[in-house]
Amino acid sequence: MPIESVTAAAQTAAAATTTAPKQTLDAEVFLQLLVAQMKNQDPSSPLDTNEMMAQTTQLAMMEQLTALADTFTESFALSMRQTAAALVGTQATYVDADGVTQTGLVTKVSFESSVPLVTIGDTTVPLDAVSGITTAS
């Protein structure tokens, strides 16, 4: 298929959506492009079945990679929560806003934000600000 036809097909597919433009390619966009490509193909030069299979395989791989990335993100978030919860009752060290190293007993953990918040003494800090841990004395 000539580049002009593919460009026209992409523009047709993009114009078909009336909502906010998508920032990522997903299965819906892929299928819209494939349908537009098939509508605009040259009848004397039909779509190559090998190319169609390759595109379908790419779509399946993209969907699986997206699912894998989502699973990894969820797993990482759960790991951070488990790590933060395990800190309760330990001595933790962090560097405050003035650049001074502070140490105190972890008394509370909050999961209100994307990064768990750990209360060390009277100060609440993000988990990723904790620089050291020791057992409570």
Closest CA to 127 of 114, 136, 137, 135: 114
For residues 48 and 51, give the distance between their C-alpha atoms in angstroms, rounded to a whole number. 5
Place of tokens 């953990």: 109
- The pLDDT-based confidence of 48 (bands split at 50, 70, 90) is confident
For residues 28 and 21, give the distance between their C-alpha atoms in angstroms, rounded to a whole number. 13
Whole-model pTM: value is 0.56
Whole-angstrom Cα Rg for the chain: 26
Share of the chain above pLDDT 70, in %: 77
For residues 34 and 31, give the distance between their C-alpha atoms in angstroms, rounded to a whole number. 5
Which pLDDT belongs to residue 122?
92
Say whether pLDDT at 106 is over 90: yes
Q: Tell me the per-residue pLDDT of 54-98, one tens digit each, with 9 for 90 and over.
A: 877 887 888 899 889 999 999 999 999 999 999 999 999 999 989
